[in-house]
Amino acid sequence: MAKFDLDSMNIEELAGLRDNANAKLLEKVAARQIELEAELERLSQYGKPAKKALAAPAAPVKPKKTEKTSDKGEKKSDETGVAEAA
């Protein structure tokens, strides 16, 4: 691997080096992604299908029927109407 004396390089040379590094990183990431997708495809034959890259977010947990909160954060009881201490 070539060594660079970054302090001696001018702005244009540094910008070019950055662009080359970004391009090489993109190539490596794309190649690795292809490898991983092939591996997932190979593994999916053994059971559960591969998860999709963008899974839907989990639904928020709802409070139990017996406990509801008011706008002020106080807990209330559905059935008895007796307020519980927070």
Q: Could you report the per-residue pLDDT of 30-84, keeping only the tens digit for each?
A: 999 999 999 999 999 888 655 665 555 566 665 555 555 555 555 555 555 555 5
Q: How far is Cα 51 from Cα 59, in angstroms, rounded to an integer?
A: 18
pLDDT category of residue 86 using cuts at 50, 70 and 90: very low
Q: How much is the pTM?
A: 0.48
Tokens of 37: 């997708």
Closest alpha carbon to 18 in 38, 29, 4 = 4
What is the predicted pLDDT for the residue at 64? 57
With the C-alpha atoms ordered 10, 16, 17, 19, is the resulting torsion angle positive or negative? Answer: positive
